[in-house]
Amino acid sequence: MSDPKPVSPWPGRWALATLLAAIPLVVLGGLVTTLRAGMAEDGWLQPEGYWLWMYPLEKRMVSLGRFVEHHHREFGSLVGLLSIATVLATLFAKAGARAFWIAFLGLVAVSGQGVVGGLRVLENNPRLAFLHGVLGQIVFGILTLVAILLSVRWRRSELPRLAAPVGMAWRAKILLGALLIQVTLGGWYRHGHGHTAIALHGFGALFVVWWGLQVARSLRKASKTFETGSAGALHLRSNALWLTGTLHLQWLLGATALYALFALSDGMSGQHISRSEIVFSTLHVTVGAMLTAVVVWTYLWTDRLDSPTQGS
């Protein structure tokens, strides 16, 4: 029996590099909103007549808001370049049409997000700021999907399917949908300052945590159908651990950020921004992106595992 065709690791490596570069992009984006610094720098690709990467250091250091906003844009351009490199890697590695279109999906998502961010600056449009914030979390999820589907582990994986479904995949799909609603409500509050949004976001958090724990429980249950110590069992238990830990951390950060926002600061519409709000609100946004990545990872693998074995 001939060996399987070798799988090039380069598309997956570039996709992973893109995802990792998107982490500081999310952190800086969260800081921009927390500091109310969305318009701290004039212009888009050529702020004050300078090309983005050639912007003088002394101008970057004028204020914390400008520093954060400028480097948010620079990391955005870096993620865009890495997305292009991922697409090119699929071509040079002859990874096939499916891999190319997966990488191209990531490039389109990043490019669209960049255009929305640029228009938000050029038009000074709060509605586009809200859209840009929500899309940022969604794009991070898409980049996670691209990194997983282009990885050697996914493309070579021969993990056995479950003999009978245990409901992991549909539970994970509902969790992903609920999380996207949560992202929208959180963005609505941070950019629109509505008390209705923060109330709905709070109730939604209760559902996401409760339902996420049900998903983690189904993962642990499914792991017992595999032989102890097997790749399938270890993968599902690891996924359950990540999901449980990220859910609890995000819930804790959300409660802390809420306290800092209203007890130590003057709310999103106020002038006073406490250090605690800066730290915990930004961490809440960042870990929210991490949770999105974990849920995407959970859904992809459970969808692959949680179906009856075909054939005899």
Structure tokens belonging to residue 110? 């990043």
> The whole model's pTM is what?
0.91
* CA dist., res. 171 & res. 168, Å (int): 5
Cβ contacts of residue 275 below 8 Å, gap of 6+? none
**pLDDT-based confidence at 307, cuts 50/70/90?**
low
Domains of the chain: which residue ranges? Answer: 8-156, 161-312
Q: What is the pLDDT of residues 177-211, one digit of tens each?
A: 999 999 999 988 888 777 888 899 999 999 999 99
Type of residue numbered 49: G
pLDDT at 1: 39
| Cα-based distances in Å from 59 to 48, 68, 75, 118, 148 | 10, 12, 17, 20, 39
Count the Cβ atoms, other than its own, within 10 Å of residue 255: 14
pLDDT tens for 9-60 read: 999 999 999 999 999 999 999 999 888 888 778 778 788 888 888 888 888 8
Token pair for 275: 């250090």
Question: Which element (helix H / strand E) includes 142?
Answer: helix 126-150
Sign of CA dihedral 194, 274, 130, 288: negative
CA distance readout (Å), 267 to 205, 240, 272, 312: 20, 35, 8, 61
